[in-house]
Amino acid sequence: MTGASYDMLRVERVTLGRDAAETAAAEMDRIGAKRALIISSGTLARETSEIESIQSALGDKAAGLFTSCRAHSPQDDALAVAEAARTADADIFITVGGGTIIDTTKVAQLCVTEDIHDLDALGQYALGRAGVKDLKTCGPVYKRQIAIPTTLSAAEFTALGGATNIDTRVKEAFTAPDFVARSIIYDPRLCTNTPMDLWLSTGIRSVDHAVEGYCAKAASPAIKGSFVQSLKMLARSLRTTAIDPNDLTARLNSQEALWLGSMGRSYVTMGASHGLGYILGGAFGVPHGVTSCVMLPAVVEWNADTIGREGRTELAQALSGKASDDPADLLRTLMEDLGQPHTLAAVGIKESDWQKIADMAMQNFVVLSNPRTISGPDDVFEILKIAA
């Protein structure tokens, strides 16, 4: 018998289907926080009244607003958010947006906690950075997040924050247990402001979490069921939203599925779809969710023998297919139904880029955690060929 232990997520509360502004104010009162720095997407702040509504609900507890986070979370943005928090004397962050907003704020939390003011000092905390012999770890995070996600990236449920090294274009990971949001507010009405392609592609990111979580080396029966149910709900609800963007029940079902699929993510390491996606995003600018649209079917096909017949059957049925169907093909059908790209060519990646991707992949611990062992660049080339 082999023993195991699991650390539970440090999320205190998840609220579903209630008004985001009113709930954020109530959570501030519950937590006892007095000054919130709001970090939101610029589009939400400029083109809608949603951020104004949150500020109004918070009253004098709204201490500042930051709207300049860029895609793929450049590390200097995290420094800027941390400085804004210091200037505002904030004791909590409220994030309103997708994975970029949430991840940038996680790294800003690190900067505030450890009094980091420059990129060199921040690099001492980057997991796996070449040349860092004595990796520093983040102390207890007292200024945490209330997350109001507007996409389905699920960044709010992880203790990892990804931020791109602005010199190397490598997306690096930073971690602390309390990077997981303290409180998460899912308001499907707010999410109708999210561009449809972004909503659906990040929905595939959550599909990626469910599939790679199910297939992960450390996946146990205790968590596999949650990944399967998450996949079932996402496959249905995303298709419904693609047909009717104003169906709030479908959007809420996607958010519930995201939550369900996130319960087991802290117990496993994702595989090559995620790892190669980090490279496509950081080095080639492919949007976060779109990387999963492109890489997941190819990785599932390459992993087929390792997933096994029983696993392939369970994945196929969760994707509304027959037991004998190929889950990789069902995933491609899902991308087509949602109008999402699922080839490298469709996102501008050329065969001449493959060597760089393969070389970077062999330095990426998530790629190397793939359930079927990736032993060298040739294996990465095989995956890229399938995805071409």
Q: How many CA atoms lie within 13 A of 289 on its CB side?
A: 25
* Amino acid 282: pLDDT: 84
Is the predicted pLDDT of residue 65 greater than 80, yes or no?
Answer: yes
190-217 pLDDT tens trace:
999 999 999 999 999 999 999 999 999 8
Other beta carbons within 10 angstroms of residue 139's beta carbon come to: 11
| Dist CA 89 CA 75 (whole Å) | 21
Q: Determine contact, residues 315/322, Cβ cutoff 8 Å.
A: no
Q: Cβ contacts of residue 3 below 8 Å, gap of 6+?
A: none
| Dist CA 380 CA 359 (whole Å) | 9
* Amino acid 112: pLDDT: 98
Beta partners for residue 160, in sequence order: 175
Least Cα distance to 139 among 171, 103, 112 occurs for 112
Task: Indicate the pLDDT class of residue 222, thresholds 50, 70 and 90.
Answer: confident
Question: What amino acid is encoded at 338 in this protein?
Answer: L
* Amino acid 4: pLDDT: 61
Beta partners for residue 65, in sequence order: 38
% of the chain surpassing 90 pLDDT: 86
Six-digit token pair at 93? 């962050």
Angle between helices 196-215 and 304-318 (to 10 degrees): 130
| Complete DSSP assignment for 110-135 | HHHHTT--SHHHHHTTSBT-TT-SS-
Other beta carbons within 10 angstroms of residue 264's beta carbon come to: 25
Is the predicted pLDDT of residue 7 greater than 80, yes or no?
Answer: no
Task: Indicate the pLDDT class of residue 64, thresholds 50, 70 and 90.
Answer: very high
Task: Indicate the pLDDT class of residue 6, thresholds 50, 70 and 90.
Answer: low
Is the predicted pLDDT of residue 229 greater than 70, yes or no?
Answer: yes
- The structure's pTM equals 0.92
Mean pLDDT of the chain: 94
Other beta carbons within 10 angstroms of residue 171's beta carbon come to: 23
| Dist CA 268 CA 211 (whole Å) | 12
- Helix, strand or coil for residue 47? helix
Here the contacts of 246-255 (C-beta below 8 Å, separation 24 or greater) are 246/192, 248/188, 248/189, 248/192, 249/188, 251/188, 251/191, 251/192, 251/199, 252/16, 252/17, 252/186, 252/188, 254/152, 254/203, 254/206, 255/16, 255/149, 255/152, 255/186, 255/188, 255/191
| CA distances (Å), origin 277, targets 111, 253, 366, 372 | 26, 25, 10, 17
Taking residues 260-280, report their average pLDDT.
90
* Amino acid 267: pLDDT: 81
120-149 pLDDT tens trace:
999 999 987 766 778 899 999 999 999 999
332-373 pLDDT tens trace:
999 999 999 999 999 999 999 999 999 999 999 899 999 999
Six-digit token pair at 211? 């599939």
Taking residues 315-335, report their average pLDDT.
95
* Amino acid 129: pLDDT: 77
16-39 pLDDT tens trace:
999 999 999 999 999 999 999 999
If phi > 0 it is left, if psi is from -120 to 50 it is alpha, else beta; for residue 342 that is alpha
| Dist CA 239 CA 199 (whole Å) | 12
Taking residues 281-301, report their average pLDDT.
94
